Amino acid sequence: MSFSVKTKNELARLIPLNPCCQLAELSALVRMDGTIQLSTGQKLSLQISTENAGVARKIFKLMKQLFDVSGQIIVQRKTRLKKNNVYLVEILPQPVVRNILEQLGIMDYMYNMGSSNKPDLVKKRCCIKGYLRGAFLGGGSVNSPEGTYHLEIITSDQAHGEAIKDLMAKLDVQAKVSKRKNWWIVYIKGSEQIVDFLNIIGAHKALLDFENVKIFKEMRNKVNRLVNCETANLNKTVDAAIRQVENIRMVAKLIDMDKLSPGLRQVAQLRLEYPDVSLKELGELCEPEISKSAVNHRMRKLEKIALELKKNRG
């Protein structure tokens, strides 16, 4: 089960206490996934589709609580691509459908589709949260924090996409809107903004899971960087040690080591004896103990001697 589905399942179980918040959330769900049908005799019916069983049950429950309307849930199965079930919440033709659509701000009294949210529905902060939760349940998705940080809500209407973005901005969540084929995408990229949005819509368990994975991911990346850095440093140390051993062996082969100063001779002998240790450790083995920079200085002198001997020999 994807992280997005888990988040929606959590939100589907959350029923707001206040009727105003329930109305705002249902309005978003209907606007995102609803279809209005006009039957014989100018009777209206309403159908809301979703691929999430929990969301379908929530829509049905909200319809019953708010409007005491009778309906049914129809289960259909896709025949192409992902063969997921599609759940249709259907409100059959009846006079109350007109009132439902008007209260949800979906259409005005002349049955014209509205292009923006009904202001009264999202006047309060709690109702804005409800509307955004409904919009996410109706057309949202969020990537697992294991991958790239990305949350989006897809709508077919540009004005609605801009309205969702503006509602997010009122709660200090900065989103952007872009077009993808015939759809408008309201999206959030930053991990902190995604966490804020999940908190706003009430997905607290998903938020904690997101944060846990995010922390683990950041820690793993930090460890990887440290390991890579240590590996690079180790490789440099090994390469330098090999070069130093080669220089010392050349010096020992071409001249008498006793001709070297005591300090150079001691460092040279210790390097041959301990080819794998660092310069700092090599300095600690000297008697008396010397610093890493002193060891490095002597190694450079040995390298210079080796290069001069090689040059004279050639």
Residue range 286-306, pLDDT digits in tens: 888 999 899 889 888 888 888
- Supply the pLDDT for residue 81: 61
Q: Each residue of 52-88: pLDDT tens digit?
A: 999 999 999 999 999 988 788 888 877 666 667 899 9
Sign of the CA dihedral running 35, 97, 153, 116: positive
Range 151-177 average pLDDT: 93
How large a percentage of the chain has pLDDT more than 70?
93
pLDDT digits (tens, 9 = 90+) for 4-34: 999 999 999 999 999 999 999 999 999 998 8
pLDDT of residue 109: 36
Q: Name the pLDDT band for 154 (thresholds 50, 70, 90).
A: very high
Closest by alpha carbon to 144, among 305, 294, 1? Answer: 1
Identity of the amino acid at 263 = G
How far, in Å, CA of 223 to CA of 212, rounded? 16
Window from 66-70, 160-164, 173-177, 223-227 with minimum mean pLDDT: 223-227
Nearest-angstrom CA–CA distance, 185 and 164: 10
Contacts of 142 (CB under 8 A, 6+ apart): 3, 4, 7, 150, 151, 152, 194, 198, 206
Q: What is the mean pLDDT of the chain?
A: 86
pLDDT at 238: 81
Domains of the chain, CATH where assigned: 3-202 (3.10.28.10), 218-313 (no CATH)
> What was the pLDDT predicted at 136?
96
* pLDDT attached to residue 243: 86
Contact 63, 91 (CB under 8 A): yes
Contacting residues for 248 by C-beta, under 8 A, at least 6 apart:
268, 271, 272, 302, 306
* CB count in 10 Å sphere of residue 82: 6
pLDDT of residue 118: 66
Judged on CB neighbours under 10 Å (0-12, 13-18, 19+), 107 is middle
